Amino acid sequence: MYITVDPTQLDMNNIIVSERNINNIMENAFFYRIFYSDENMNSNGIFIYFSLTNIKIEKYFNKIKCYFLDNQNNIIINKIKNIEKEILEKFGDFHLKKKIPTYRIEEQIENKYIKLYSDTIETERKENIKLILKISGIWENDNKYGITFRFLLLQ
């Protein structure tokens, strides 16, 4: 079970970033864990719940891609892109002024898909799916920084 936040109610002031640690995934990089804390809860990471409509799910090598088939999802998609930008701008202003932000969520969305993580794969068109965007932290290397994230498909 996940405790999630509605994307329209996410408050950037409730995001806490940890001290810099060595990144265990990327070589020659660092990782900053993100916490979300408000008057009701504290969480290790940010879990954002949202839905998409009129999509197509396809297996792509060992990954799953969720394609947007029309513009029905533009409002939520733009909100998700803005969340990524706001987090990186806020963090970059304080810590990484001379480094370049990398918008990996936006890169996927601009290509009309997102990569999903799920235990089950049903490759088909769907009218509606429910997802969680899990934002774990921020990575940093010599020149760039970006968000560590996953899109989780709910069954």
pLDDT of residue 56: 92
State the greatest distance between any 2 C-alpha atoms of the chain, in Å, as a whole number.
44
What is the pTM for the complete model shown?
A: 0.91
User: Do the beta carbons of residue 72 and residue 49 sit within 8 Å?
Assistant: no
User: How far is CA 34 from its chain centroid?
Assistant: 12
Checking if the pLDDT of 120 tops 90, the result is no
- Which of 81-85, 115-119, 146-150 shows the lowest per-residue confidence on average (mean pLDDT)? 115-119
Q: For position 145, what pLDDT does the model report?
A: 94
Percentage of residues in the chain having pLDDT higher than 70: 96
Where helices occur in the chain by DSSP H, the ranges are 74-95, 104-110
Q: Is the pLDDT score of 6 beyond 90?
A: yes
Q: Interior CA angle at 46 toward 126 and 52, to 5°?
A: 15
Confidence band, pLDDT 50/70/90 cuts, at residue 9:
very high
Q: What is the pLDDT of residue 40?
A: 86
Residue whose structure tokens are 């429910």: 130
pLDDT of 155: 72
Helix (H, G, I), strand (E, B) or coil at 79: helix
The band of 149, judged by pLDDT with boundaries at 50, 70 and 90, is: very high
pLDDT in tens, 10-52: 999 999 999 999 999 999 999 999 999 998 889 999 999 999 9
